[in-house]
Structure 1
Amino acid sequence: MIVGSLQATPDPTISGAFPDPANLTGENYVAINERVNLFQGLANSGIFTGGVILGTVVFGVLAGYALAVLNWRGRGITFAMVLLVQVVPFQLLMIPLYVMIARDYGLSDSYLGMILPFFINSTAVLIFRQYFLQLPKELFDAARIDGAGEFRLLWTVALPLVRPALLTAVLLTFIGPWNEFLWPFLITKEAALQPLAVSLANFISNIAASTSNPFGAMMAGAVVLAGPAVALFIIFQRYFVSNDLGSGVKG
Structure 2
Amino acid sequence: MSTVARSRTRKVDGLSRGQNILRYVVLFAGALVFLFPFYYMVIGSLQTEPDSTVAGAFPNPANITGENYAAINSRIDLLQGLANSGIFAGGVILCTVVFGVLVGYALAQLQWRGRGITFALVLLVQVVPFQLLMIPLYVMIARDYGLADNYLGMILPFAINSTAVLIFRQYFLQVPRALFDAARIDGAGELKILWSIALPLVRPALLTVVLLTFIGPWNEFLWPFLITKEASLQPLAVSLANYLTNVAATAANPFGAILAGACVLAAPAVVLFILFQRHFVSSDIGSGVKG
Q: What TM-score does the superposition give when structure 2 sets the normalisation length? A: 0.75
Q: Structure 1 residues 85, 68: closer, same or farther in 2, change over 3 A?
A: same
RMSD of aligned C-alpha atoms?
2.4
| 1:1-251 paired onto structure 2 within 5 Å | 1-18=41-58, 20-180=60-220, 186-188=226-228, 199-206=238-245, 207-242=247-282
Aligned sequence identity (%) = 76
* Per-residue deviation, 1:200: 4.2
How far apart are the structure 2 equivalents of 1:162 and 1:143? 17
* Per-residue deviation, 1:11: 3.5
How far apart are the structure 2 equivalents of 1:236 and 1:115? 24
CA contact (8 A) 1:44 1:181 kept: no
* Per-residue deviation, 1:127: 0.8
Count of residues in correspondence between the two structures? 238
* Per-residue deviation, 1:18: 4.0
CA contact (8 A) 1:41 1:181 kept: no
How far apart are the structure 2 equivalents of 1:181 and 1:158? 35
Structure 1 range deviating more: 197-206 or 98-107:
197-206
How far apart are the structure 1 equivalents of 2:61 and 2:196? 54
* Per-residue deviation, 1:61: 0.4
Question: Any stretches of 5+ residues in structure 2 without a counterpart?
Answer: 1-40, 284-291
Q: Structure 1 residues 124, 11: closer, same or farther in 2, change over 3 A?
A: same
* Per-residue deviation, 1:110: 1.1
Q: Structure 1 residues 114, 35: closer, same or farther in 2, change over 3 A?
A: same
How far apart are the structure 1 equivalents of 2:56 and 2:282? 36
CA contact (8 A) 1:45 1:180 kept: no
Question: Any stretches of 5+ residues in structure 1 without a counterpart?
Answer: 244-251
CA contact (8 A) 2:225 2:238 kept: no
Q: Structure 1 residues 220, 77: closer, same or farther in 2, change over 3 A?
A: same
When you count helix as a share of all residues, which structure comes out higher? 2
